Chain A
Amino acid sequence: MHLKRSSVIKVGRYVGVRAVTVAVAIVISVYLTIIIANAGGYVDEIIISELRFNIYESVRANPMYKGYPPEEIRRIAEERIELEIKKMGLDQHFMIRSFNYLYDALTLNLGRAMKIFSSSGSNRVWDIIGERLPTTVLLFTTANILIFLCELFIGLTLSRRYGSKLDKLAVSLAPLSSMPGWFYGIFMIIIFASWLGILPYGGLVDAPPPEEPLLYALSVLEHMILPLLSWAVAYIPIGVYRMRTFFLMFSMEDYVDYAKARGVPPKVVERRYILRPVLPPVITDFVLVLISSWMGAIVTERVFNWPGVGTLMAEAIAINDAPVIIGAVAIFAYLLGISVVVLDMIYAIVDPRIRVGE
Chain B
Amino acid sequence: MSKVTLIAKSIFRYKSLLVGTIIIVFFFFMSVYAVVLMPYSEAVKRWNSLDYWEDNPKLASPSWINLLLNRKLPETLILDSKYLGTKVRQEIPFDGGVYIRVEIHFNYEYDDFPSEIILRLYMHNVTRTAITTLTWVKPDGTELIVDESSMVGGYRYYSISADRQFQARYTKYITEKLKGRPTYDISPEIALFAKEVSGLLNPETKEVLKGRYRVILIVKSPESSADVDVKLNIYGKVFGLAGTDHKRRDLWLAIVWGTPIALAFGVIASVVTVFLEMIIAALGAWYSGFVDYLTQRINDIMLVLPFLPILVMVSYFYRLTIWTLLGIVVVLSIFGSGVKVYRAMFLQIKEMPYIEAAKVYGASSFRIVFRYMIPKVFPTAIPAIVLSVPTYVFLEASLAILGVGDPTAITWGRVLEEAFSGGAVYRGYFHWILEPATCLVLMTLGFALIGFTLDKIFNPKLREL
Contacts and interface: CB of A to CB of B under 8 A. Distances in A.
A24 B23 CA distance: 44
A295 B391 CA distance: 13
A318 B405 CA distance: 12
Contacts of B394: 179-180, 183
B317 A179 contact: no
Given A36-B310, A299-B308, A318-B403, 10 more contacts: A25-B300, A37-B317, A175-B444, A175-B452, A291-B303, A295-B309, A303-B401, A326-B313, A329-B310, A329-B312
B309 A298 contact: yes
A81 to B, nearest CB: 25
A306 interface: no
Contacts of B308: 295-296, 298-299
Most buried by A among B306, B401, B441, B447: B306
Contacts of A21: 297, 300-301, 304
Given A174-B452, A183-B440, A332 B401 contact: no
B398 A299 contact: yes
A294 interface: yes
Interface stretch (B108-116, B220-228, B362-370, B423-431): B423-431
27 contacts: A25-B304, A26-B304, A29-B306, A39-B318, A40-B318, A175-B448, A175-B449, A178-B391, A178-B444, A178-B448, A178-B451, A180-B394, A183-B397, A183-B440, A189-B425, A245-B462, A245-B465, A291-B303, A295-B308, A296-B308, A296-B398, A298-B308, A302-B402, A313-B402, A314-B403, A318-B403, A336-B304
Most buried by A among B305, B390, B434, B448: B305
Contacts of B437: 183, 186-187
A24 B297 CA distance: 10
A153 B337 CA distance: 26
* A-side interface mostly: helix
B315 to A, nearest CB: 9
B275 interface: no
Interface string A47-86: 0000000000000000000000000000000000000000
B372 interface: no
* B-side interface mostly: helix
Interface of A: 21-22, 24-26, 28-29, 32-33, 36-37, 39-40, 42, 162, 174-175, 178-180, 182-183, 186-187, 189-190, 193-194, 201, 245, 248-249, 288, 291, 294-296, 298-299, 302-303, 313-314, 317-318, 322, 325-326, 328-329, 332-333, 335-337, 340
B420 A303 contact: yes
A295 B307 contact: yes
Contacts, number: 138
A313 B312 contact: yes
Nearest to A334: B306
A291 B304 contact: yes
Contacts of B428: 194
A178 B387 CA distance: 8
Interface in B92-130: none
Contacts of B391: 178
Contact of B465 (A22, A193, A248): A248
A22 B403 CA distance: 29
Nearest to A38: B317
A182 B317 contact: no
A175 B449 CA distance: 7
A201 B420 CA distance: 12
B404 interface: yes
A82 B19 CA distance: 69
Given A29-B306, A179-B394, A180-B398, A194 B426 contact: yes
A325 B313 CA distance: 7
A22 B303 CA distance: 9
Contacts of A182: 398, 401
A175 B307 contact: no
A40 B319 CA distance: 11
A337 B402 CA distance: 23
Contacts of A340: 304
Nearest to B306: A332
B304 A179 contact: no
Most buried by B among A183, A249, A326, A333: A183
B38 interface: no
B313 A329 contact: yes
A186 B433 CA distance: 9
Given A175-B452, A193-B425, A294 B306 contact: yes
B402 A186 contact: no
Contacts of A294: 306
Contacts of A295: 306-309
Contacts of A298: 308-309, 312, 398, 402
B316 interface: yes
A335 B387 CA distance: 28
B425 A299 contact: no
Contacts of A174: 452
Most buried by B among A190, A201, A328, A337: A190
Interface in B399-428: 401-404, 416, 420, 425-426, 428
A195 B403 CA distance: 27
Contacts of A194: 425-426, 428, 430
